Structures are given as C-alpha cells and as structure tokens.
C-alpha cells in the first residue's frame, strides 16, 4: 500500500507478489534495472544503435532471418492489431483457427478491420487439426490465416508445423500470436514458414507489459508496403501512396517499418524505457540459450502437473497439446475458486489465475514462466495451494504434491 504524503497519493510501494498465473509474470531484476537507465532522444545515434541491436537480438529469439523484426509500442494486443489491420483491407477474407478466448479475439479484430471472417473452431481444451485448417483455406482462399500458438485461456498449444505451406498453397499470408509462448516454448518462425509472429514481454520473456516484439517476412512486408501512405505532415508533395490505406495510423506497419529502417521516418516517439527492457529480456534469453530455456519451462510444467495430480486434482484439456508454461486445473466440487485465489494471495503472496467464458469458475490456471519458472517457485505454489485447500475442507494426501514435483525436478544436490 502507498503511504499518503498529504497529496492523496503516496509513493508507490507495492506488496511482494509471486505471479504464478497465466501472466503477467514477475520481471527479471536485470530488466527492471535496464529500464531505470537515462532517457535518450529517439534519433540520438546511441539510441538508434540500441534499436538496431534489439532487432538483431529478437531475430535470434524468434529463430528467423526476417529483416523486419522490431518492437511495437503497446501491449501484445497492439502488435496483434497492427498485424491484422496492416494486412487486411475491407472485404479481404481472413481464416481464423480458434480454440479459446484469444482465437475469438483474432476473429473480432479481423471483423473490425472489415474482413470477411471464416473460423475453424475446436472445442475449448482441444486444438485445430492442420488438415482441417488446410481444407478450409483451400475452400475460402483467404488473404490471411490467423492462429494463436499458446492460448492461455485453455492452456492449449496449437501445432503449427505446415502452416506456411498451407498459406502458400492458397496464396495467403499467415499470422501467429505467440504472446504466451515466445522464449518459453519453441517458436521457430522460419521453420513454420509463418509470415508475421508477435508476442509480449510479460510472459516467458520476463519483462513488463507495454511493448511487443514482432517479426515480418519479406513477402508480408511487400504486401504491407503496397498499402504504404506517407503521413500528410511528412509528405513532400505529390501522391502520398497507393493501394487501400491502412485504417489505423498508430498501428500502420508500413510507417512503423519505415521508422525502424535506416530512413528513420518519424512515426511515433519510441518508448526508450521499454526498449531498454525489451533489449535486456532478449539478452537474458540468448545468454541462457533457447534450448535450455525451453527445457526449463518444460520441466516446470511437468512438475506442476505432477504436483496437482498428486493432490488428487484433475488437469484440464488435451494433455497431448498442453502448453508447458501454463497448467489448467479443475476446481474441486464445492470449492469456492475465487476464495482460494484470494487466500493464496493474502496468506502466501502468490497469485494464480482463474479463466474466462465457458471455463469461468471451473478451472484455475497455474503458470511458471520466464523469471518465475524455477523449482522453488513451483514447489512453493503447490505447497501453498495444498495448505489453502486443506483449510477449505478438502481432504488431500499430505505433502505429496511437493514430493511429486520434486521427483520431476530432482534434488539438484550432488551426492
């Protein structure tokens, strides 16, 4: 709580929280330190060097050679909207693979772009078979195929091998929302053949929400640049562009790509502080190594799953397609799920998530991602959940959740 200084609002002094839900997760201390560095002007050569370094770092994080790899100033949803509104003109066909809340979000944003939207759905807790998506794409001939990699609302991870081939066979571009999986699960952009992939810092990257990495293939950039219009106040006379103008100024990827290019054509004032944070996130990821980081998240996910099952709880959804970094757990019959979440937060300083839509009040979502994806954090979360459930009258086998998770992790102490 903040202590009032007579102005009605005191200095910020937030309580300690361990954020073990579906996101956000706690930011790495090095990221927070980087964000406290001094501001620079957006065209200062030192700062544009940082911009170029950040682009190079995120090419490695995204596992891509895409030249157009940079940051969108805004949350992960800003990057999603920038991608869709920059590709889709009114009347274009968009095919969405939907298996949860965030597939529905892609549908809504595409509709707001004026697109004709077709949806290939899977029941919540399942994923869309690629063959079913390919069949729909061949039938409707979309301009864009849009998918969510890891939908935290259902904790399912959509397989995306073959996505690029499906898109190219019907002349489409492809978009992937990897907000919840980048740097926590393999997201091999070039191997997928995906044209645009976006993310956010607040999940597995270990940073704050507010700036969003994005990568764009050459063929997607070519299509977006075909709609390029120079902002009126920057145009030096003559026609400002051709093709249907992108409907949003702020989310116009053609203008944003010009801003991040050697031209440095002014579009917005880059968020210096958040760029510092995003740059440090990528440095941390690459210093650890992608494979090591994926293995760390996978081990934590296995341990969390083993722990909740040892308590006698049931894991939600198709286990073959479960995200490694978020685990859905059915709330036991007769238990007030929100009361348990409140006690976890108040008594133990640990936050876990509920869910949305048809899963509201039915499951908890336990996350282990980024800086929080460690053995002690998983064990403490499981121990706290067991203790709270006991106080709520649930009969549980004592200590077995932590024991089961420890068996997955191992002791970590040499004999």
Highest mean pLDDT among 198-212, 241-255, 401-415: 198-212
- Mean pLDDT (whole number) for 191-202: 98
Reported as a pLDDT band with limits 50, 70 and 90, residue 182 is: very high
Reported as a pLDDT band with limits 50, 70 and 90, residue 2 is: low
Q: How many beta carbons lie within 10 A of that of residue 186, not counting itself?
A: 18
415 pLDDT exceeds 50? no
163 pLDDT exceeds 90? yes
Cα angle 387, 202, 157; round to 5: 80
395 pLDDT exceeds 70? yes
pLDDT at 9: 84
Residues 100-112: tens digit of each pLDDT: 999 999 999 999 9
Of the candidates 237, 216, 240, the residue with the CA atom closest to the CA atom of residue 228: 240
pLDDT at 378: 98
- Mean pLDDT (whole number) for 355-374: 96
Reported as a pLDDT band with limits 50, 70 and 90, residue 367 is: very high
- Mean pLDDT (whole number) for 27-37: 98
Cα distances (angstroms) measured from residue 245 to each of 231, 248, 252, 349, 378: 11, 9, 9, 49, 49
Query: What percent of the chain stands above pLDDT 70?
Result: 96
pLDDT at 234: 79
Reported as a pLDDT band with limits 50, 70 and 90, residue 190 is: very high
In the chain, what are the domains? Answer: 35-285 (3.40.640.10), 289-409 (3.90.1150.10)
Reported as a pLDDT band with limits 50, 70 and 90, residue 398 is: confident
237 pLDDT exceeds 70? no
284 pLDDT exceeds 50? yes
Across 215-224, 311-320, 366-375, 390-399, least confident range: 390-399
Using an 8 Å Cβ cutoff, are 246 and 235 in contact?
Answer: no
Residues 39-58: tens digit of each pLDDT: 999 999 999 999 999 999 99
pLDDT at 362: 97
- Mean pLDDT (whole number) for 198-207: 98
Cα angle 78, 81, 82; round to 5: 85
- Mean pLDDT (whole number) for 25-44: 97
CA gap 236, 337 in Å, rounded: 60
């Amino acid at each position: 709580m903040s202590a009032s200084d007579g102005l009605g609002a005191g200095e910020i002094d937030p309580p300690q929280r361990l954020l073990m839900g579906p996101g956000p997760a706690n930011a790495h201390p090095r990221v927070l330190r980087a964000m406290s560095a001094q501001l620079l002007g957006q065209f200062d050569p030192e700062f544009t060097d940082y911009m170029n370094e950040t682009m190079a770092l995120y090419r490695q994080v995204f596992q891509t050679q895409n030249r157009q790899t940079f940051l969108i100033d805004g949350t992960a949803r800003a990057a999603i909207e920038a991608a869709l509104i920059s590709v889709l003109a009114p009347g274009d066909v968009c095919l969405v693979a939907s298996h949860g809340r965030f597939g529905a979000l892609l549908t809504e944003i595409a509709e707001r772009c004026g697109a004709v939207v077709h949806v290939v759905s899977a029941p919540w807790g399942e994923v869309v078979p690629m063959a079913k998506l390919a069949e729909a794409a061949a039938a409707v001939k979309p301009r864009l195929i849009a998918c969510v990699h890891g939908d935290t609302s259902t904790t399912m991870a959509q397989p995306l091998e073959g996505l690029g081939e499906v898109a190219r066979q019907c002349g489409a571009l492809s978009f992937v929302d990897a907000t919840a999986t980048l740097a926590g699960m393999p997201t091999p952009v070039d191997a997928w053949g995906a044209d645009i992939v976006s993310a956010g810092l607040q999940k597995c990257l270990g940073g704050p929400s507010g700036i969003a990495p994005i990568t764009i293939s050459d063929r997607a950039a070519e299509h977006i640049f075909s709609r390029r219009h120079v902002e009126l106040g920057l145009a030096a006379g003559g026609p400002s562009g051709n093709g249907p103008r992108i409907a949003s100024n702020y989310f116009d990827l053609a203008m944003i790509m010009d801003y991040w290019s050697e031209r440095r054509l002014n579009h917005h004032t880059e968020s210096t502080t958040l760029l510092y944070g995003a740059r440090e996130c990528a440095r941390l990821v690459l210093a650890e190594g992608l494979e090591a980081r994926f293995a760390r998240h996978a081990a934590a996910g296995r341990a969390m799953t083993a722990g909740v099952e040892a308590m006698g709880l049931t894991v939600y959804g198709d286990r073959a397609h479960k995200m490694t970094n978020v685990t859905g757990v059915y709330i036991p019959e007769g238990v007030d799920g929100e009361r348990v979440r409140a006690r976890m937060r108040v008594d133990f300083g640990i936050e876990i998530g509920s869910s949305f839509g048809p899963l509201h009040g039915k499951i908890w979502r336990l996350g282990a991602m980024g800086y929080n994806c460690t053995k002690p954090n998983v064990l403490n979360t499981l121990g706290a959940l067991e203790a709270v459930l006991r106080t709520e009258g649930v009969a549980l086998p004592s200590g077995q959740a932590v024991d089961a998770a420890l068996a997955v992790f191992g002791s970590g102490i040499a004999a």
